[in-house]
């Protein structure tokens, strides 16, 4: 008996042709982004660590080959979709980060002051929140762990969705992450911001107790990046530059949505990613309004991703099960 990926008897919830179409779409998105980075980086004479990016490309090769092999030569939609999702997520993140660095050289006026004023109008005091977090060491440490768990969560969830045959949700997850990231980066390029930690200084005693994932020094480095340019662009030192809208919030809500049909795990994802949203102003140094911006972007990204997956599903269902009518009076018949 041939070994099957996932539970015995598990089947993909998409047809093989729909899986292939969505895998090609992910590949097209990533290829277009990498090409844009390469052309802009070369034309603009940016200092890019080509060697390190070549190593990343080499590490991606097994997942790309796996997606192709299990799509064309030994068809297994579950393995193919899982490999395609892994390849996409591993390639998209660094290429989108490079794009954000390139966009920093043409970005519009910084709006952190305006965002801080909006927070103040809503009654939000970032420094007071940080003082509160410093007084609750254990809770703050748990929030930090949740904040840094987002990327591992995405990779794990993509594998579980593929393993369980939920390939529609796997492709939805990837497309929502891509749409959310691109919206956030483009909004940021027009109106750059880096968060509350780039304009407020914490009392030394408070800062010493927080053990932040991202601190005030990080915020000042981002302000300098916008002023002086990115310098060496390398995957070894890439920084998340987007303040508004909060991409961490986008990722957290996308994770909650695409884990919602997984028994037991959905509650873990819900609790963990609510903690991510709470941690975002603390360990991400964000304004509160950044979180609300991230919520709107997440809703738009999820809606767009699900629309694309459902459109592909319907298109391939019709091609698979229906024939054109023949003679007059003959109706399309199910195959």
Q: How sure is the predictor about 101, in pLDDT bands with cuts at 50, 70 and 90?
A: very high
| Lowest mean pLDDT across 7-11, 103-107, 170-174, 243-247 | 7-11
pLDDT at position 326, please?
Answer: 47
**The two structure tokens encoding residue 37:** 């980075």
Burial 118-132 (b: 16+ CB within 10 A, else e): bbeeeebebeeebbe
d(CA 196, CA 291): 12
pLDDT tens-digit series, residues 162-194: 988 899 999 999 999 999 999 999 999 999 999
pLDDT at position 238, please?
Answer: 66
Residue 1 pLDDT more than 80?
no
Contact by Cβ (8 Å): 304, 162? no
Query: Which of 176, 208, 205, 175 has its CA nearest to residue 84?
Result: 175
63-79 average pLDDT score: 87
2-25 average pLDDT score: 70
- The overall average pLDDT reported for the chain is 87
pLDDT at position 177, please?
Answer: 97
Q: Is 52 exposed, middle or buried (0-12, 13-18, 19+ CB in 10 A)?
A: middle
- % of the chain surpassing 90 pLDDT: 62
pLDDT tens-digit series, residues 201-251: 888 888 888 887 666 677 788 888 888 888 888 887 767 789 999 999 999
Q: How sure is the predictor about 331, in pLDDT bands with cuts at 50, 70 and 90?
A: very low
């Amino acid at each position: 008996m041939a070994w099957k990926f996932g539970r015995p008897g598990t089947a993909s919830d998409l047809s093989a042709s729909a899986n292939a179409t969505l895998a090609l779409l992910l590949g097209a998105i990533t290829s277009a982004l990498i090409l844009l980075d390469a052309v802009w980086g070369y034309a603009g004479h940016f200092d890019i660590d080509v060697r390190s990016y070549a190593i990343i490309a080499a590490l991606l090769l097994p997942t790309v080959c796996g997606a192709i092999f299990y799509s064309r030569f030994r068809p297994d939609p579950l393995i193919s979709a899982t490999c395609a999702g892994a390849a996409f997520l591993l390639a998209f993140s660094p290429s989108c980060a490079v794009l954000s660095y390139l966009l920093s050289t043409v970005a519009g006026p910084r709006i952190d002051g305006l965002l801080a004023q909006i927070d103040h109008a809503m009654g939000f005091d970032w420094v007071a929140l940080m003082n509160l977090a410093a007084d609750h060491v254990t809770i703050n440490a748990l929030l930090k762990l949740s904040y840094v768990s987002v990327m591992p969560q995405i990779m794990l969830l993509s594998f579980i969705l593929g393993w369980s045959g939920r390939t529609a949700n796997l492709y939805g997850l990837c497309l929502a992450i891509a749409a959310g990231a691109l919206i956030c980066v483009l909004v940021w390029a027009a109106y750059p911001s880096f968060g509350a930690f780039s304009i407020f200084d914490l009392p030394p005693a408070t800062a010493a107790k927080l053990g932040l994932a991202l601190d005030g020094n990080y915020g000042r480095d981002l302000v300098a990046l916008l002023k002086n340019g990115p310098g060496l662009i390398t995957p070894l030192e890439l920084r998340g530059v987007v303040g508004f809208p909060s991409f961490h919030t986008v990722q957290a809500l996308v994770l909650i949505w695409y884990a919602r049909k997984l028994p037991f795990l959905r509650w873990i994802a819900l609790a963990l990613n609510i903690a991510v949203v709470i941690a975002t102003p603390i360990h991400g140094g964000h304004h509160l309004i950044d979180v609300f911006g991230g919520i709107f972007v997440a809703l738009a990204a999820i809606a767009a991703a699900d629309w694309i997956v459902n459109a592909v599903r319907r298109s391939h269902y019709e091609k698979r099960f229906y024939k054109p009518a023949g003679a007059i009076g003959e109706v399309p018949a199910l195959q």
